[in-house]
Every structure is written in structure tokens, then in C-alpha cells.
Amino acid sequence: MNERVMQFRLGMFVIVAGLVLTMLIVWFGESPQILRERGFIKVHYAEAPGVLQGVAVRKSGIRVGEVVGIDFDDRANQPDGVLVTLALESQFKLRKGSIPRLTKSLIGDVTIDLLPGVGEGPMETGPTPAQAPIVEGEVAADPSKALAAATIAFERAGDTLTTIQEAASGLAKISKSAGKLDEFLATWDATGKDLSAASTSIRGFVDQNEAGVKAALANIQQASDRLNSTLDPATQDALKTGVAKFSAASARLDTALADAAPLMKDLGSPVDRTPATDFGQTVRRVNRIASDVELLSNTLRNNRGGLNTNGSIQRLLTQSDLYDNFNALAASANQALQQLKIALASFREFAEKVSRDPGAISRGALSR
């Protein structure tokens, strides 16, 4: 056997081994799902909690397909929800009208069970997910929610049992107090007898003083008649007029008080607040004047409450030499003003001459 034959046989062995390995992978892997013939339907759910691709589809406990796609239902004029695409194996004959029901177990596992159909003929399916018909599905009750509702019901039942126990305790207390019922009835009987005796005494008193009671009632009737005769139409009109005037006066008083409210507010406000009324501003000015006068008087007084003779204002008021100095200063200022007036008059005359003849300035300088 030469080397060329050995290479040929080795190549054939590699090719056959590869084919066998490929067949094993196809047979035991996921590829059989692709090779099998399947039909597709789309199921509309209002909600699909826990549904994922690969979730099993069962009928009567037998796996007949799986979930291959999940999308939101964006069809026009259709209720919002979810479209779940199911791949059903064609070897299982499903009756028309089967309803895919989404079921969630207590531990969270999700399956889709096909309820038996009532129609005639097989269920319509599409060759591809895009051509799959749409059917309506239903969602089974969530056992976790049912368990929560049962827990709430048990809690309420516990509250009810507690209430029943409290009622039983109340009945027990009432049964213990039943022994005192005879005493209560005896006391009630005695009270009834006392009331009967009291009513008899009152009746006897009324019978004995019947004449006086009738006279008192007659006097009350006469007083009522006199009051009615006194309140004649004229008196009633006068009374109504007085009440109306009193009401008008009260209204005017309320208006006056309302108008005076800003003034009262200014009078009661602190000193740093600006008054809103003229009278308030006047009072504020008077307060300022009084404060200034108080400061002036404090300046003029010494520590013993007398006139302070060392102050400038006190010296001006008490020392005559200050008046003389002020008079001399005023006289000097008056003389200076008079001389200033003469100088101004001369300057005005010079200005008028220059304005009339500007060349006079040069002629005067040349003449010098």
C-alpha cells in the first residue's frame, strides 16, 4: 500500500466522521425543531407577565409547541396589549376554537395551556410568524394575588373572631350583673310609688288653690289684652321707625369705625412705621418736635436738673460780651459789604465803558 492510497483513505475517514458528527448534532440538538413542520399563531393578551421565548405550550398536559416571539400590539383601532407568537407542531391536531390560556404557578412558572375547542375542523395556523392568524387568549388568575386576598380574608376573620370573643365577654358580664336586676326592679317600683304619691299631692294642691290659679290666669289674660291694646298700629309704626333709625345709626357707627380703623392703626403702630393718614403724620411730626425739644432741654440742663452755664447756648443766653462780639462781627460784615458794593459799582462802570469803547483800554495803556 503506497502513501497515496493511505492519504485517500484517511481523507475519506475524516469526511465520513464529519458527516456522522453533523447528523448527531442535528438529531440531538435544536435543529430538529427547524426540520419539523410547524404552524404559527399569534395570541392577543391584555398583559403577559412572565412570558419569555421558549415557554412551553401544552394541551391536556402534553407539550405541543413553544413561544417564539413577543411583541406589543400596535394595530390600529385595537385595544392595547401583547401579541405572543406560538409555534405549534403540526403532528398534533388541534381543534378549531381552542383558547390559549396563560397560567402562572405559585412559584412563578409560566405555561400556556390550550383549552379544548368547540369548533369543527382543525385550528387555522400560518406557515410563518408573519402570516400567523391572531386569536384572543385569556389570563388565569394569579395564585399569588389569590393567596394575598386569602391572607386578608384570614386577617378579617381573625378580627371577626376577636369581636365575637369581646361580645361573649360582654354577655358574660351581663349574666354576672343579672343578680342585681331584682334590686333594680324593686328600686323602680319604689320610685313609681313615690311619683304616684307626688302626683296625688300636686292634684290636691291644685284643687285647694283652684280659685287662686283661675284668678292668676285671668290677670295674665287681662295684661295680655292691655298689651295688645297698647300696641296699636300707630305705636307699632313708631316702634318700627325707631328700630329702623337705630339700625341706620348702628350702620353709620360701623362705617365711622371702619373709616377710623387706619387712624387707630397709625396711633398704635411703632415709631419706625410710616403713617398712612394725615393725622398720623401730624402726630409723628409732633412726636419728633417733642423729641427735639427734649434733646434741647437735656442739653441745657446739668446733672442736678438746673441750667448748665458751661454750654455754648447757655453762654450765648447769659453772657453779654458774646452779644457784643456778634454785634461787632455784624457791623464789620456790613462795612465789608458796603465796600464790596462800591467796588462792584466801579467795576460795573469800567465794564460799561469798555463795552462802549473797547479801544479805550489800549489808549490808556499807551498814554501811560
- Final residue before a domain boundary, out of 140, 168, 189: 140
C-alpha cell at 14: 475524516
**pLDDT of 312-359, one tens digit each?**
666 666 666 666 777 787 888 888 888 888 888 887 787 777 777 766
Note whether residue 305 is domain-resident.
no
Note whether residue 126 is domain-resident.
yes
Same domain assignment for residues 50 and 31: no
Over residues 57-61, mean pLDDT: 88
Note whether residue 8 is domain-resident.
yes
**pLDDT of 171-223, one tens digit each?**
667 666 655 666 766 776 777 777 777 777 777 766 777 777 677 777 777 77
Same domain assignment for residues 135 and 76: yes
pLDDT given for residue 307 in this prediction: 59
Distance CA 81, CA 88 (A): 22
pLDDT given for residue 311 in this prediction: 61
Among 26-30, 45-49, 278-282, top mean pLDDT goes to 45-49
Same domain assignment for residues 26 and 42: no
**pLDDT of 289-319, one tens digit each?**
877 777 767 766 666 666 566 666 666 666 6
**pLDDT of 113-149, one tens digit each?**
888 877 778 888 888 888 888 888 888 877 767 666 6
pLDDT given for residue 31 in this prediction: 47
pLDDT given for residue 217 in this prediction: 75
Same domain assignment for residues 4 and 41: no
Over residues 152-174, mean pLDDT: 70
Specify the higher pLDDT residue, 71 or 363. 71
Give backbone dihedrals phi and psi of 270, rounded to 5 degrees, phi first: -70, 170
**pLDDT of 230-247, one tens digit each?**
666 777 777 788 778 877
Specify the higher pLDDT residue, 117 or 268. 117
The domain total for the chain is: 2
Over residues 95-110, mean pLDDT: 83
- 40, 87 contact by CB (below 8 A): yes
pLDDT given for residue 1 in this prediction: 57
pTM of the model: 0.35
Same domain assignment for residues 57 and 100: yes
Note whether residue 6 is domain-resident.
yes
Q: Which domain holds residue 131?
A: 37-140
Same domain assignment for residues 106 and 58: yes
Q: Write the CA distances from 192 to 75, 200, 201, 302, 318, integer angstroms.
A: 86, 12, 14, 93, 105
pLDDT given for residue 363 in this prediction: 60
Give backbone dihedrals phi and psi of 358, rounded to 5 degrees, phi first: -60, -25
Same domain assignment for residues 82 and 17: no
Note whether residue 109 is domain-resident.
yes
Note whether residue 93 is domain-resident.
yes
Give backbone dihedrals phi and psi of 109, rounded to 5 degrees, phi first: -70, 140
Note whether residue 229 is domain-resident.
no
Give the model's confidence band at 27: pLDDT under 50 very low, under 70 low, under 90 confident, else very high: low
CA torsion, ordered 103, 108, 111, 113, to nearest 10 deg = -20
Specify the higher pLDDT residue, 7 or 85. 85
pLDDT given for residue 130 in this prediction: 85
Distance CA 39, CA 89 (A): 6
Q: Write the CA distances from 100 to 82, 116, 142, 334, integer angstroms.
A: 13, 9, 16, 124
- Final residue before a domain boundary, out of 140, 156, 171: 140
Closest CA to 126 of 83, 165, 161: 83
Closest CA to 64 of 119, 139, 115, 24: 115
368 has pLDDT over 70 = no
pLDDT given for residue 345 in this prediction: 81
- Final residue before a domain boundary, out of 87, 121, 140: 140
In the chain, % of residues over pLDDT 70: 74
In the chain, % of residues over pLDDT 90: 2
Give the model's confidence band at 365: pLDDT under 50 very low, under 70 low, under 90 confident, else very high: very low
Same domain assignment for residues 31 and 68: no
Same domain assignment for residues 66 and 87: yes
Specify the higher pLDDT residue, 294 or 86. 86
Same domain assignment for residues 42 and 132: yes
The residues, ordered by sequence, that sit 6+ positions from 195 with a Cβ below 8 Å of its Cβ are: none
Same domain assignment for residues 44 and 124: yes
Q: What is the 3-state secondary structure (H, E, C) of the chain?
A: CCHHHHHHHHHHHHHHHHHHHHHHHHHHCCHHHHHCCEEEEEEEECCCCCCCCCCEEEECCEEEEEEEEEEECCCCCCCCCEEEEEEEECCCCCECCCEEEEEECCCCCEEEEEECCCCCCECCCECCHHHCCEEECEECCCHHHHHHHHHHHHHHHHHHHHHHHHHHHHHHHHHHHHHHHHHHHHHHHHHHHHHHHHHHHHHHHHHHCHHHHHHHHHHHHHHHHHHHHHCCHHHHHHHHHHHHHHHHHHHHHHHHHHHHHHHHHHHHCCCCCCCCCHHHHHHHHHHHHHHHHHHHHHHHECCCCCECCCCHHHHHHHCHHHHHHHHHHHHHHHHHHHHHHHHHHHHHHHHHHHHHCCCHHHHHHHHC
pLDDT given for residue 265 in this prediction: 73
Distance CA 265, CA 276 (A): 9
Note whether residue 26 is domain-resident.
yes
Write down the mean pLDDT value for the chain.
76
Same domain assignment for residues 42 and 136: yes
